[in-house]
Chains A and B, each alone.
Chain A
Amino acid sequence: MITARGLTKRFGEKTAVDDVSFTVEPGRVTGFLGPNGAGKSTTMRMILGLDRPTGGTVTVAGVRYARLGAPLHEVGALLDAQAMHGGRSAYNHLRCLARSNGIPTRRVDRVLELVGLRSVAKKPAKGFSMGMGQRLGIAGALLGDPAVLMFDEPVNGLDPEGIVWIRTLMRSLAAEGRTVFVSSHLMSEMALTADHLIVIGRGRILADTSVREFIETNATSHVRVRSPELAELGPLLARRHWRVEVDPDGSLRVFGADPASIGDVAAAAGVRLHELSPVRPSLEEAFMRLTGDTVEYHAGGLHEHEAEDEAVGGPPPDDFPQDSPPGGPPPGSPPDEGPSGPPASGPTGMWEGGRS
């Protein structure tokens, strides 16, 4: 169990983690979800005592990490796979870690086997691919057979087979009753792996809830509408008190309406439709809505989505935004969830209903 209370970390002027409190429970995979730069790694580093909190406390099994008698038996952590001396062989790397906590050497062979690195155990780690480095880091985390496991962006650099492997591993570790805390900015990954979510944005906890509940609370199903005559259709739909948002790819998201009624409105106005499809909520969707105004870098939008209390008050445009070419996706590809790029902000424009 990991317990953070009022955990805060400032680097000079910048607050990386801002008064964060949460508990990571055993027996399930807890996803730590947030865009790059949200404070995930800093929080994990504070859990391990690598960074000193500016304020607040964080404990593992009720104790500050630095006071654990046999830390590797309590917590196994993969922070970044490159955190090893490249000149040392995988075997020797694990051997010096094991020795520092009085773990017998045969356990080194065991974890090397477990992560599938036995054949390269005597090779220097610098020759390893990123995926192999990741596996070696995981082997280090498993060395002490700990009750708490922490993985920071574990699927980075893994091939599809490796991703499935680590997903299965995390789930089985949790099923054994261990505490599994895994950070990621990949929502699809979290949707598949996590039972519980702690969502962080700009150093603050935005949600601490089960995955299912998170989706239900933060995402509602909507209807995606494509039409060559969006400029006409948008205001028409908005007038029906449905919430209408412009997707970055040029389609509309209509909330609170079923496809049939939208089709009727379009037909009555003589507007051609190219797509009319109901979209079920996803974790992505929920995340985007929740962090719409908490991501550090916006993809650049017409109107910032107001997700939280901060009503930034961008002028709600009740006419169609001029700089968005209606009737077709803009030349740039729709923002995709990539491993490194800044996460796309949510909807980039919206019409509010009831403005006629």
Chain B
Amino acid sequence: MTAAEAPDAAERPGTRGRPATFADAVASEWIKILTVRSTFWTLLAGLVVTIGLSGLLALVFVSAYDNLTPHDKLQFDPTAYGLVGIQFGMVAFGVLGVLVITGEYATGMIRTSLTAVPRRARLFAAKALVLGVVVLIVGEIVSFAAYFLSQLIFADKNLNEGLGAHGVLRAVIGGGLFLTLIALFALAFGALLRHTAGAVTTVLGLLFVLPIVASFLPGTFGETVRKLMPSAAGGAVMGTRPSRDLLSPWTGLGLFALYTAVLLIVALVLFQKRDA
């Protein structure tokens, strides 16, 4: 059948290929992520939820604005408020991060993938990179769209802030970065637990339930713990007003990036050690 395509048959049957590279693995993962429907649906859900809720809550805020106390009016952070939808839309990006790896375990595809790319660190890194790039692109689009929509609504009451105002551009770009880290954070749990429902539950628990638990902790200890929660730390990048409840923007995002990096490293070590 393939003898005609094997010019070096004298030496050995078959075709000799050039050694595969990291770039090949990345290209392959790129095809993979774009050829399953779950990618499209989770990204669409993330987009709709984030932009929709940001716009909706902006409308609610504008209609209630006149009844606010002067203190509340002073505290208002139009950028952070405009990006509030990200705190909900992040679920969809987290689910995508989980599915990128658990989808392979659920279907058995992981064994085929590891046969094609047996260098596990390469496969894992390629997956993380492709996921990161896809979510970064969509995340930035979503973040900017949510920002512009909400500012359009806030403009009604002259509450809007331009991208040139202090910290605004950083906050909006930070929104996309935050979503990217959420997806990678979720990827790590997907790889650790190798089970879609378990990993999604764990990620949601850490992002939503843990802060609720922390809210019952008393005093300055509780205050510190709340600042260090993954979602609070990462979300700090989207604020443009100093807040005693949050870490400073880059410190917060940096801490969340650190959590994510540690989890990814642990996941990679186990990925290399475990039988597939």
Q: Which residues of chain A have a CB within 8 Å of any CB of chain B?
A: 26, 45, 48-52, 65-66, 68-73, 75, 77, 79-80, 82-89, 92, 95-97, 99-103, 114, 140, 142, 144-147, 169, 172-173, 176-178
Contacts and interface: CB of A to CB of B under 8 A. Distances in A.
11 contacts: A45-B275, A50-B276, A52-B273, A68-B118, A71-B118, A79-B111, A97-B116, A99-B31, A144-B17, A176-B3, A177-B9
A102 B18 CA distance: 8
Given A51-B275, A69-B20, A100-B117, 10 more contacts: A70-B18, A70-B19, A72-B17, A73-B16, A83-B107, A85-B109, A92-B31, A92-B35, A95-B31, A102-B21
B14 A88 contact: no
B225 interface: no
Contacts of A70: 16-20
Nearest to A88: B35
A311 to B, nearest CB: 36
A70 B20 CA distance: 5
Contacts of B276: 45, 50-51
Contact of B115 (A48, A52, A86): A48
Contacts of B29: 96
Closest A-B pairs by Cβ, 3 of them? A69-B19, A100-B28, A73-B17
Nearest to A80: B108
A112 to B, nearest CB: 13
Interface residues of B, number: 46
A147 B35 CA distance: 30
A332 B232 CA distance: 68
Residue from the set B103, B117, B120, B275 with the largest chain A CB neighbour count within 10 Å:
B275
B35 A50 contact: no
A173 B111 CA distance: 24
Contacts of A69: 17-20
Contact of A145 (B14, B36, B103, B107): B14
A88 B12 CA distance: 34
Given A50-B111, A87-B38, A114 B15 contact: no
B28 A97 contact: yes
Instruction: Classify the secondary structure of A's interface with B.
Output: loop
Contacts of B36: 85, 87-88
A111 to B, nearest CB: 9
Contacts of B17: 69-70, 72-73, 101-103, 144
Nearest to B111: A83
A49 B118 contact: yes
Nearest to B37: A87
A71 B107 contact: no
B24 A99 contact: yes
Contact of B108 (A75, A83, A145): A83
A140 B112 contact: yes
Given A103-B17, A146-B14, A84 B112 contact: yes
A68 B14 CA distance: 15
Contact of A85 (B12, B107, B120, B273): B107
B6 interface: yes
Given A68-B118, A86-B107, A176 B13 contact: yes
B270 interface: no
Nearest to B6: A145
A102 B119 CA distance: 15
Contacts of A178: 13-14
B191 to A, nearest CB: 16
Interface in B10-61: 12-21, 24-25, 27-29, 31-32, 35-38
B114 interface: yes
Contacts of B13: 26, 147, 176-178
Contacts of A45: 111, 275-276
A65 B118 contact: yes
A50 B114 CA distance: 7
A175 B86 CA distance: 61
Contacts of B72: none
B68 interface: no
B243 interface: no
A24 to B, nearest CB: 14
Contacts of A92: 31, 35
Nearest to A168: B1
A240 to B, nearest CB: 55
B104 A85 contact: yes
B66 interface: no
Contacts of A101: 17, 20, 24, 116
A85 B103 contact: yes
Contacts of B24: 99-102
A182 B223 CA distance: 63
Interface string B237-266: 000000000000000000000000000000
B158 interface: no
Contacts of B220: none
B14 A96 contact: no
Nearest to A83: B108
Nearest to A11: B275
Contacts of A85: 32, 36, 103-104, 107, 109
